[in-house]
Structure 1
């Protein structure tokens, strides 16, 4: 497992990692007891500074989402289940941004919704590159 990092994105890399872990926990892709990739492995995979990954993991630890297990790394902590409202709250900012762009482009609601539906059912180009 590796995170999807977009260096050119306006969101700092450490925030990209933190947000992905939150989403993966909410969707049960990461469960309590699962380990995150090591700082070194993730930094090497993406050719980023290990301190960037370490900063993300430290934030997650401060939030109580992960626990540091001496000699083994970071493990997902036990938490309550994520409900629909928590998942919706995570998705809402991206949808607000997409809606704003659709309005700026003058797209109809039907066209924007159709495009979103297509995106939901189509694997992203990053999904195709997961075997790297």
Structure 2
């Protein structure tokens, strides 16, 4: 019998009344981009958040998978905004030295340039220091 808690789901991150999203532009040809954060709990576990990129007509133009950016099992967006022509994203990830069972304790941020087709480049990426030790330390 399938356990619905283990099947997981993909939903908007944030709260029902305040989902995590930002709108803005990163280049002259990419005006009106909406960036929306999705979380996935497939298999009953949290996976790295994915940021969906939509044009001004809300057509999907691309996505940013934080798991492919920081190579960690868990990456949870805390804030995102368009600032000075880039999408600025701040998230927490787990400790690289102890990825299994580790708390989300490393603050990270990155600035993304996005064009009208949804292609993106990482302009700057910052990794912080763990704030919580590995389990068992």
TM range (shorter): under 0.3
TM-score (norm: length of structure 2): 0.24
- More helix per residue: 1
Structure possessing the higher relative contact order (Cα contacts under 8 Å, 6 or more residues apart): 1
TM-score (norm: length of structure 1): 0.25
